[in-house]
Chains A and B, each alone.
Chain A
Amino acid sequence: MVMESIKDKAAIIGMGCAKFGERWDASIEDLIVEASYEAFADAGIKPSDIQAAWWGTSFSAHRGTAIAKSLKLRGIPYTRIENACAAGLDVFRNASYAVAAGVYDIVMACGGEKLKDFGYSGLPVSPPSYAELALSQTRPTTPMPAQFALLANRYFYHYGIDYDEGKRALAKIAVKNHHNGTLSPKAHFRREVSLETAIKAPMIAKPLGLYDCCGVSDGCAVAIITRPEIARKYRDDYVLLKGMGVAGGDEYAAIPSDFDWVHWEENLAAAETAYREAGITNPREQIDIAQVHDCFTINELISYEDLGFSPRGKAIDDIDSGFFELDGGLPVNTDGGLKCFGHPIGATGLRMVYEIYKQLQGKAEARQLKKVELGLAHNIGGWPGAFTAAVAIFGREE
Chain B
Amino acid sequence: MVGIVSYGVYIPLWRLDLGTVDEGLSGERAIANFDEDSLTMGVAAGINCLHNADRSQIDGLFLATTTSPYKEKQISVTAATALDLREDILTADFGNSLRAGTTALRAAIDAVKAGSAKQVMVVAADMRLPMPGSDFERLFGDGAVAFIIGDENVKVSIRDSYSISDEILDMWRADGDKFVRSWEGRFALDEGYFRVLPIPVSALMERNNLAPQDFSQAIFYGPDTRRHREMAERLGFDMAQVQDPMFGSVGDTGAAFSLMMLAASLENAKPGDKMLLASYGSGADAFLLEGLKEFEGGREVKSYVESKKIIKSYKTYLRWRELIEMTTGRRRPPTPTPSASAIWREREQNIRLYGVKCQQCGTVQYPPQRVCVNCHAKDKFESYRFSDKKAKLFTYTADYTTPTPNPPMVLAVINFEGGGRMWVYMTDSDESEIEIGMPLEMTFRRLFTMEGIHNYFWKCMPVRFRGG
Residue of A124, A137, A151, A203 with most partner-chain B CB within 10 A = A137
The CA of A259 and the CA of B367, in the complex, are separated in Å by 16
Chain B residues with CB under 8 A of A127: 332, 402
**Partner-binding segment picked from B81-89, B248-256, B299-307, B338-346:** B338-346
CA distance A252 to B421 in the complex (A): 10
> A252 CB to closest chain B CB, in angstroms?
7
Q: A136-B338, A138-B350 are in contact. Are A153 and B329 (CB under 8 A)?
A: no
B373–A255 CB distance below 8 A: yes
CA distance A244 to B189 in the complex (A): 81
Report B124-183 residues with CB < 8 Å from chain A CB.
Answer: none
Chain B CB within 8 A of A146 CB? yes
Q: From B401, which residue of chain A is reached at the shortest CB distance?
A: A204
> Do A120 and B331 form a contact, CB below 8 Å, given A206-B397, A257-B421?
yes
Residue of B350, B395, B420, B455 near A150 (CB, 8 A) is B395
Contact of B332 with A125 in the complex, beta carbons under 8 Å: yes
CB–CB B374/A256 < 8 A: yes
A146 and B420 within 8 A (CB): no
Say whether B333 contacts A154, CB under 8 Å. no
**Shortest CB–CB separation between residue B294 and chain A, in angstroms?**
40
**How many B residues touch A, CB cutoff 8 Å?**
51
Give the distance in Å from the alpha carbon of A240 to the alpha carbon of B425 in the complex.
46
Give the CA-CA distance A134 to B394 in the complex, in Å. 23
Say how far A329's CB is from chain B's closest CB, in angstroms. Answer: 31
Which residues of A (295-331) have their CB < 8 Å from a CB of B?
none
A254-B413 contact in complex given A126-B332, A138-B346, A149-B399, C-beta closer than 8 Å: yes
State the CA gap A250–B350 with chains docked (Å): 21
Q: Counting CB contacts under 8 A, is A285 at the interface?
A: no
Q: Mark B357-398, 1 if CB is under 8 A from A, else 0.
A: 000000111110100011000000000000000000011111
A261 at the binding interface (Cβ < 8 Å): yes
Whether, in the assembled complex, B424 has its beta carbon less than 8 Å from a beta carbon of chain A, the answer is yes
How far, in Å, is A230 (CB) from chain B's closest CB?
44
Contact partner of A204 among B339, B373, B400, B413, CB < 8 A? B400
Q: Provide the residues of chain A in CB contact with B329, threshold 8 Å.
A: 121
Please state if B332 and A142 are interface contacts (CB–CB under 8 Å): no
Per-residue 0/1 for A223-261: is the Cβ within 8 Å of any B Cβ (1 yes, 0 no)?
000000000000000000000000000111111110101
Pairwise interchain contact B421-A120, C-beta atoms closer than 8 A: no
Interface size range of chain A in the complex = 35 or more
Q: Which of A140, A253, A259 contacts B425 (CB 8 A)?
A: A140
Interface presence of A130 (CB below 8 A):
yes
Complex CA gap A256/B422 in Å reads 9
Within 8 A of A (CB), among B334-355: 334-339, 342-343, 345-346, 350
Which residues of chain B come closer than 8 Å to A126, judged between CB atoms?
332-336
Q: Which residue of A lies closest to B366 (CB)?
A: A255
- Interchain CB contact under 8 A, B397 and A146: yes
Which residues of B lie under 8 Å from residue A157 when comparing CB positions?
Answer: 395, 436
Report which residue of A120, A136, A152, A256 has the largest number of chain B beta carbons within 10 angstroms of its beta carbon.
A136
What residues of chain A lie closer than 8 Å to B345, measured between beta carbons?
136
Q: Given that A121-B331, A150-B411 are contacting pairs, would A256 and B346 also be in contact in the complex, using a CB cutoff of 8 Å?
A: no
- B214 near A: Cβ within 8 Å? no
Contact of B395 among A120, A153, A208 (CB under 8 A): A153
Chain A residues whose C-beta falls within 8 Å of the C-beta of B331 in the assembled complex: 120-122
Tell whether A153 pairs with B333 under 8 Å between CB atoms, given A135-B339, A146-B411. no
Q: Is the CB of A257 within 8 A of B419?
A: yes
Closest 7 CB pairs of A and B: A149-B397, A154-B395, A135-B342, A137-B338, A138-B457, A135-B339, A257-B421
Q: Please list 11 pairs of residues, one from A and one from B, whose beta carbons are closer than 8 Å in the complex, sorted by A's number.
A: A120-B331, A126-B333, A134-B342, A136-B346, A138-B343, A140-B425, A142-B423, A150-B395, A205-B401, A206-B408, A261-B394
Task: Please list the residues of chain A having a beta carbon within 8 angstroms of any beta carbon in chain B.
Answer: 118-127, 130-131, 134-143, 145-146, 149-154, 157, 202-208, 250-257, 259, 261
Known pairs A122-B331, A146-B399 / 18 extra A-B pairs, C-beta < 8 Å? A119-B330, A124-B332, A127-B332, A134-B367, A135-B339, A135-B342, A136-B338, A137-B339, A142-B423, A150-B396, A153-B395, A153-B396, A157-B395, A203-B400, A204-B400, A206-B399, A251-B373, A257-B415
